[in-house]
Structure 1
Amino acid sequence: MSRNKKLIKDTQIYAIAMFGPQLINFLLLPLFTSYFSTAEYGQWDLIVVTVSLLLPFISFEILTSVYRWLLEEKDFNKRKEIISTGFFYTIRNLTLFCFLAIFVMIYFNIEYQFLIIMMIIFNILNNFIQKCARGLGLNKQFAILGITQTIVTLVTQMLCVFVFQIRIETFFIGAIVGNASSFLLGCYMLKFHQYLAINYFSKQLSESLLKYSIPIIPGAVSFWVMNSSDRFIISAFLGLSANGIYSVANKLPVLINMVKSIFQLAWQDSAILSYKDQDRDQYYSEIFKRYFRFLMPSCTILITLTPFLMKLIVADHFYIAWKYTAILFLGAVFLALSDFWGAAYHGSKNTKVILKTTLIGAMVNIIVNLLLIQLIGLYAAAISTVVGFFVMWLIRMKSKSKTFEIDIDKKDFIILFSILVSFLILTYLENVVINAVLVLMSLALFYLYNKDVLSKLFKFLVAKVKK
């Protein structure tokens, strides 16, 4: 199978895994914003970002190394060694975490502490099994696990809300049951037991895995700082209700992040597998050109639709969130560009550059946020996110330590970026007629830059229908 066909096929599989679940989450937003207060939303959001900070330290990101090693290894015994080493190392870390957590529970009274511990354990186990599925090339199974996790999570949450009328614990219970269900199903589908044997644990391999994963930990923490530290700064300076508003403001940019994540999963596989190809740079550049032409007009459409969509899907007391959502879309674009380069760095196993650039971006994010938060309120958090991700992408793109080259079509970049920023500014006029015109122009822009892809897609669908 050619690289392009494999990339398209993998993207389709990952799209099935992620688009449906994210769509369901999106459609349930009106329910949750009506049921939970802004303060409750803000509290849950803080818990989520705190757990996100803890995960890399507990797992040592060894699961990322397992995925990377499995992707290039075809021998069954070698795969068994990789999975056994990674899994038993992860179990050791989780055991140590549980002992530490019990100590904390004895001496400190932390709200929802038992639920938080269970959520962390099953999150790491589920992530491990899903990374194994991807590394083994079982992308369809990975898709099934993702869909199962989301459906079980949402059904559990709806039962908690409609039947048992549980408040914030709803989110915990849904996350725990969803992750546990996906992990158990993954063990069955992958026949996970056949890859596990204590005598296959390799100390030498564990050192190699850690050498790759350890630089990812501060990188992951820095990414957390850039993506989530806003919540703590907002809560400290503006309060939990303001954080609840900001949390909802991030829901629509999830659509861009979803598209990015779908493509990124497939692109990371492809970038790693094609890294040693002679025409690697040409291939990377061609894929980036197509990706950029899809990403920028898509984001422009969503920015112009933001006021209309927020009016439809959130309760009135959350509507003001749209003003920050529009800016956060721009941040989502720069994150997508950063991750594109990040996949190429993973291909060369050069995770140190990812660490360095994420650290710098995180520091920029915090500094800009702290300087502006008391002057312009929630706008500071949105703007600092954009600036942080932009700096991260810029440094990754210009880094002298990279061993690959990705050419950027300067004409495309200038035109599409200028249009996006212009439409973003015009959206703040809050004029219904102007916004409607901007939506139509954005749709035309998307067609203009993607008509060849749309034409091929149309012909493909027609051929399928005729069959």
Structure 2
Amino acid sequence: MSIIRKLASQTAVYGLSSIFGRFLNYLLVPLYTYYFTAAEYGVVSEFYAYAGFFSVLLLFGFETGYFRFRDKERTGPDVAYSTALIFVVLVNLGFFTLILLINTQLSAALNYANHPEYVLCFSLILILDAIAAIPFAQLRAENRAFRFAGIKIFEIGVTVLLSLFFIIYCPKLYAANPESWIAPIYNPAIGIGYIFIANLLASGFKFLLLAPQLAGLAWGFDRALFGRMVRYSLPMVVIGFAGIINEMLDRVLLKYLLPYDALTNMKMLGIYSACYKLSILMSLFIQAFRYAAEPFFFAYAGKSDARQVYAVVLKFFVIFCVFIFLLVTLFIDFFKYFVGDEFRAGLEVVPILLLANLCLGIYINLSIWYKLTDRTLMGASVSLAGAALTIALNIWWIPLFGYVGSAWATLACYGSMAILSYLLGRKYYPVNYDVKRVLGYIGLGIGLYFAHEQLLMIIVWQPWLLASALMLIYVLITLLCEGRQQRRLG
């Protein structure tokens, strides 16, 4: 339990910073959904979907490769770091050169011929973020969680402030006095483009704060180590790319597969993307856990009780994720106000997407089998299977069920990946997970959710009171079950 508490404390540092930072960022969702139409927000969602794919390609899996080799080379972790950083910088410089050459044609192909600045802005954001990922990995590996968290919060804070400046303050000042000092820096025609500009400026400030870590470019490039890192990391690109397909492809396909006109399709895309944001609490916890758990799993792998610890980690992870699932779904009447009224038509997808994210978190826990045994190619096959399922189900279900079909496809994908990873893990890196208890907690959460839906129709309690009572039931049952197990074991 002391090891679990240590992991929990690291997760808390990353988590509190992520929750605070993402909460600031989350405040942008009502800003965007109250100030822009669903169709306009759909444009932003589409670009972020594309960005997800390129963020994997531009990092080339070297973040995880750095974790794998930093403590294994006689040359020391500094050379492993500089080798990864130099390679990522060169890849991104090549990418930027390519974008400069084809920007006009690419913008036209995406139906944004009148806004080539969208593509250029987003390319620069991607480049800065990809290069920054390696310094951030070094901070995580060295347990410098507070510096990591501080820079992340600063970046998000700048994004929020600049968004408020460009979207609220500038239009009001421009409308009142178009000849004022605001005229040279604000153009109403840019519109949603200011979302991209705010993100780009924030990424630039983050890059400057990471300057001490960027000094590692001078520590040398080890060709032999680079070869080993490529062989290990290349399958991680496949895994990451497949993961982005699972996470983002629905946002791309909705634009083309929904059976409406182009404007309505973009509106539906905006509604779905905004409601996807309501699963933010689950995503926050999973991200915070991933930041803390990835270096922890590698560092603890040599301990005699490692597999036992991994099993306990998964159980408590699921307990907390189910708590988040209930918090959002039972109090959805509160969370719905974080998106504009036009976007609330899609609230039915929120429980489905929360369960999908829970399955993704379970998969992240289970994926240690291929990372610790260097079977990354086999791990890639799991992700590719999930990606194939995502593509097939979206193509099948979007024309039939709209964006609800995309939500169910996401759940089916992540659920299947978790099951497949568990079965392969039993063969290549057996861990005695408490499957019955894990499934029991998930079933309890789903049962309480459906009970809430039924009880709302037959009792006269206030919705928040009923939701609180059901949350309390979950907490008490969890404490009772875990208390009994602790007494039995100790």
Name the TM-score, length of structure 2 as normaliser.
Answer: 0.84
Closer/same/farther in 2, CA of residues 443 and 29 from structure 1, 3 Å limit: farther
Q: Quick one: which amino acid aligns to residue 204 of structure 2?
A: A
**Residue equivalent to 1:49:** 49
Closer/same/farther in 2, CA of residues 300 and 2 from structure 1, 3 Å limit: closer
Q: Quick one: which amino acid aligns to residue 445 of structure 1?
A: Y
**Residue equivalent to 2:97:** 99
Which 10-residue stretch deviates more, 40-49 or 9-18?
9-18
**Residue equivalent to 2:377:** 352
**Residue equivalent to 2:203:** 179
- Separation in structure 1 between the aligned mates of residue 123 and residue 57 of structure 2, nearest angstrom: 14
Number of positions where the alignment pairs a residue of Structure 1 with one of Structure 2: 447
Select 1:170's aligned residue among 182, 194, 199: 194
The answer to whether structure 1 residue 227 and structure 2 residue 227 are counterparts is no
Q: Quick one: which amino acid aligns to residue 223 of structure 1?
A: G
**Residue equivalent to 1:389:** 414
Within a 5 Å distance, the mapping from 1:233-382 to structure 2 comes to: 233-238=253-258, 239-310=265-336, 312-343=337-368, 345-382=370-407
**Residue equivalent to 2:471:** 442
**Residue equivalent to 2:122:** 116
Q: Quick one: which amino acid aligns to residue 115 of structure 1?
A: C
SS at match of 2:342: helix
Q: Quick one: which amino acid aligns to residue 78 of structure 1?
A: G
Closer/same/farther in 2, CA of residues 316 and 388 from structure 1, 3 Å limit: same
Q: Offset of 1:25 from its aligned partner?
A: 2.4
- Separation in structure 2 between the aligned mates of residue 291 and residue 327 of structure 1, nearest angstrom: 19
Closer/same/farther in 2, CA of residues 326 and 25 from structure 1, 3 Å limit: same
Q: Quick one: which amino acid aligns to residue 449 of structure 1?
A: T
SS at match of 1:164: helix
Select 1:138's aligned residue among 144, 164, 184: 144
SS at match of 2:170: coil
Which 10-residue stretch deviates more, 355-364 or 416-425?
416-425
Report if the CA contact (8 A) 2:318-2:358 is conserved.
no
- Separation in structure 2 between the aligned mates of residue 159 and residue 451 of structure 1, nearest angstrom: 50
Closer/same/farther in 2, CA of residues 212 and 309 from structure 1, 3 Å limit: same
Q: Quick one: which amino acid aligns to residue 319 of structure 2?
A: R
Q: Offset of 1:228 from its aligned partner?
A: 1.0
- Separation in structure 2 between the aligned mates of residue 80 and residue 295 of structure 1, nearest angstrom: 36
- Separation in structure 1 between the aligned mates of residue 422 and residue 156 of structure 2, nearest angstrom: 35
Q: Quick one: which amino acid aligns to residue 325 of structure 1?
A: V
**Residue equivalent to 1:81:** 79
Closer/same/farther in 2, CA of residues 400 and 21 from structure 1, 3 Å limit: closer
Report if the CA contact (8 A) 1:53-1:224 is conserved.
yes
- Separation in structure 2 between the aligned mates of residue 405 and residue 273 of structure 1, nearest angstrom: 18
Within a 5 Å distance, the mapping from 1:52-67 to structure 2 comes to: 52-67=52-67
**Residue equivalent to 1:212:** 232
Q: Deviations over 1:43-95 (max 9, x none)?
A: 1111111121122223322233123333x3698x6222112211211121122
Report if the CA contact (8 A) 1:345-1:402 is conserved.
no
* CA RMSD between the two structures: 2.6
Percent identity between the two aligned chains: 20
Q: Deviations over 1:160-201 (max 9, x none)?
A: 11233462112212221222212211223x4x42x3326x21
The answer to whether structure 1 residue 409 and structure 2 residue 434 are counterparts is yes
Q: Quick one: which amino acid aligns to residue 197 of structure 1?
A: A
Closer/same/farther in 2, CA of residues 317 and 398 from structure 1, 3 Å limit: same
Which 10-residue stretch deviates more, 352-361 or 247-256?
352-361
Q: Offset of 1:377 from its aligned partner?
A: 1.8
Q: Deviations over 1:401-429 (max 9, x none)?
A: 75433333344234323233334445666
Which 10-residue stretch deviates more, 228-237 or 417-426?
417-426
- Separation in structure 2 between the aligned mates of residue 101 and residue 243 of structure 1, nearest angstrom: 26
Closer/same/farther in 2, CA of residues 133 and 453 from structure 1, 3 Å limit: farther
- Separation in structure 1 between the aligned mates of residue 77 and residue 384 of structure 2, nearest angstrom: 33
Which 10-residue stretch deviates more, 297-306 or 242-251?
297-306
Q: Quick one: which amino acid aligns to residue 141 of structure 1?
A: R
Closer/same/farther in 2, CA of residues 294 and 320 from structure 1, 3 Å limit: same
- Separation in structure 1 between the aligned mates of residue 208 and residue 73 of structure 2, nearest angstrom: 25
Report if the CA contact (8 A) 2:356-2:414 is conserved.
yes
Q: Offset of 1:259 from its aligned partner?
A: 0.9
Q: Which runs of 5+ in 1 are unaligned?
A: 455-467
Closer/same/farther in 2, CA of residues 8 and 372 from structure 1, 3 Å limit: closer
Report if the CA contact (8 A) 1:30-1:314 is conserved.
yes
Report if the CA contact (8 A) 1:274-1:280 is conserved.
yes
